[in-house]
A and B are shown apart, each in its own frame.
Chain A
Amino acid sequence: MITEKDVKHIASLSKLEFNEAEIEGFVSDLNNIVDYVNTLAKVNTDDVKEISNLTPLKELRKDEIKQSLSQEEAIMNAPKQKDGGFSVPKVV
């Protein structure tokens, strides 16, 4: 059973904020969805030991310097820029 407290905790992990009505909505939505996905608990998967990607990742590429986005292109969508970089509120 997912409680209001759980929803607030997950919201803070998700960096999302909600009003009380939204939190109530999430309590009911998430409980419904989780009840549904709980059907998996009944599936016997004892013989599956390892979990991994179905398609194995390919070999790593060579560490070569290649052309990439220019600094200008990389920051062109940043809402706040300063001296060719991303600007954020003071962190330290």
Chain B
Amino acid sequence: MDYTKLSILEVSKLLHDGSVTSEELTKQVLNNIKQKQNLHALTSVCEEYALKKAREVDALFKKGEKLPLLAGVPITIKDNINIKGLKTTCSSKFLENFVAPYSATIVEKLEQNYAVIVGKNNLDEFAMGSSTENSAFFTTPNPYNLEYVSGGSSGGSACAVAANLGFAGVGTDTGGSVRQPACLCGVVGLKPTYGLVSRYGIVAFASSLDQAGPLTKTVKDSAIMLNALTGYDEKEETSVKREKEDYLTSFSGSVKGIKIGLIKEIGSDGMDVEVKEKLESVIEFYKNQGAEFVELSVPFVNNALACYYILSSAEAASNLARFDGVKYGVSVFDAKNINDLYLKNRSNGFGKEVKRRIMLGNYVLSSGYYDAYYKKAKKVQKKLVEQFNKVFESCDVILTPTSPTPAFKIGEKANNPLSMYLSDVYTVPVNIAELPAISVPCGFNKMGLPIGFQLIGKKFSEKTLFNVADVYDSKNGEAK
């Protein structure tokens, strides 16, 4: 039997009652990965490492130990997250030989839950992009149509989950990099509240916005993954100290009395007709389930993208300043002097989009422009937060599309950075305001490409998000 199409919740039962071993499951997933190499969802596969872990878990099951839900479940990890002893490439030429000397906190947490990591997912280089076309290695196509993109930057993770190359993926979301690819590949993607999941051991893009989150087949699986990922980390300065919640207690199965907000500024420009239709059917569904709808005004969402490109590029330029090819990375050996070494290593190692962000970042931070750009963007960020706080006084969650369009063709936006950036227009406000949000699949367009919607919550309201999302996910058959 092929177990790889099941959800984590389903397969976990089989692992626990002994119907299947983790080794068998892991072999099936590894086999899928071999069969579907044309998807380029992974930058590396750690077969031996995975099989060793799987056998260890099987031994524990055999001894009759009580193990967590994730025990023995094969998953994949985005290749900007460190696993000790394995490569972390960030899909960059610069790091193609980099072996992580330590593991990210979230990897340690997943291993404490006995999850079996089978490989690392392709991404846009350093997580900068919305299509994985910026990967220095290869583009991950959409599993539903290979001529289309999988989204990005966690496109490899989304594609892997959709194609059953692992029961879940872990991505990172700085401006939509978990939610947008999840939407384009027809899976569930969660961006947790900033500070809920430790960033220690994840290669930084924009530290004040980065947050890791799970990509899964179902909303309940997302809750299982979040249970494993969260927890205070003293090694991480922005990790929030708060009691650990059990997200599996989120599900009441009802949205009666829940107030869902619709932002009136979202919807007019650039939204695909079929995306709009699907969104309307989602609204209809929730109305029938007893949810109330309120119209809200958040005018500053229209400024969020501009704000995002200033703040994220400024932080990226600063974070990537440490890449000099001295401590790690690819280096030339014929440099005339230290400056020449830096110039050559960085110019050879970084791809086009990464250079573009570094250039934009250093421009907005440079003398004479700092006040007009960086400082202004920080102020607009504060205004946006105030507006979100205000509208959350009158609603529990906000509903938007995740992406203005379904997946676009490979190459279609590659030469127009601004139009590529616009595919994140609904997801970036969430990062700017440090909020949690989840993308849920809601069917397909006429071409057979997935469409998704996004639910945004107040800070630390992941439980509400899970419940509202699950009511649609488990009751609506269309998206399956």
Q: Write the residues of chain A forming the contact surface with B, with a CB cutoff of 8 angstroms.
A: 2, 6-7, 9-11, 13-18, 26, 29-30, 32-34, 36-41, 43, 45, 48, 51-55, 57-58, 61, 69, 73-80, 86, 88-91
B101 and A69 form a contact (CB under 8 A): yes
B101 and A76 form a contact (CB under 8 A): yes
With an 8 Å Cβ cutoff, the count of chain B residues facing the other chain is 70
Q: Which of A2, A51, A57, A88 contacts B341 (CB 8 A)?
A: A88
Q: Write the residues of chain B forming the contact surface with A, with a CB cutoff of 8 angstroms.
A: 97-99, 101-102, 194-195, 208, 234, 237-238, 240-241, 300, 303, 305-307, 309-310, 317, 321, 324-331, 333, 335-344, 346-347, 350, 355-356, 358-360, 362-364, 366, 372-373, 375-383, 385, 417-418, 421, 433-434
Name which residue of chain A comes closest to B417, CB basis: A29
Which one of B194, B356, B362 has the highest number of Cβ atoms from chain A below 10 Å of its Cβ?
Answer: B362
- A5 CB, nearest partner CB in chain B, Å: 13
Q: A16-B355, A33-B360, A91-B338 are in contact. Are A77 and B376 (CB under 8 A)?
A: no
B342 and A45 form a contact (CB under 8 A): no
A79 and B309 form a contact (CB under 8 A): no
Chain A residues lying within 8 Å of B379, measured Cβ to Cβ, are 45, 48, 51
B363 and A10 form a contact (CB under 8 A): yes
Complex CA distance for A32 and B421, rounded to whole angstroms = 12
Summed over the interface, the residue pairs from A and B with CB atoms below 8 Å come to a total of 153
Of all A-B residue pairs in the complex, the 4 with the closest CB atoms, nearest first, are A77-B328, A79-B331, A45-B379, A51-B378
Complex CA distance for A36 and B137, rounded to whole angstroms = 30
A36 and B98 form a contact (CB under 8 A): no
- A69 CB, nearest partner CB in chain B, Å: 6
A37 and B101 form a contact (CB under 8 A): no
Complex CA distance for A2 and B369, rounded to whole angstroms = 12
Q: A40-B380, A91-B338 are in contact. Are A16 and B375 (CB under 8 A)?
A: no
Task: Enumerate 13 A-B pairs (CB-CB under 8 Å) in ascending A order.
Answer: A15-B343, A17-B347, A30-B359, A32-B417, A40-B373, A40-B376, A51-B375, A51-B378, A53-B208, A76-B99, A77-B99, A79-B325, A89-B341
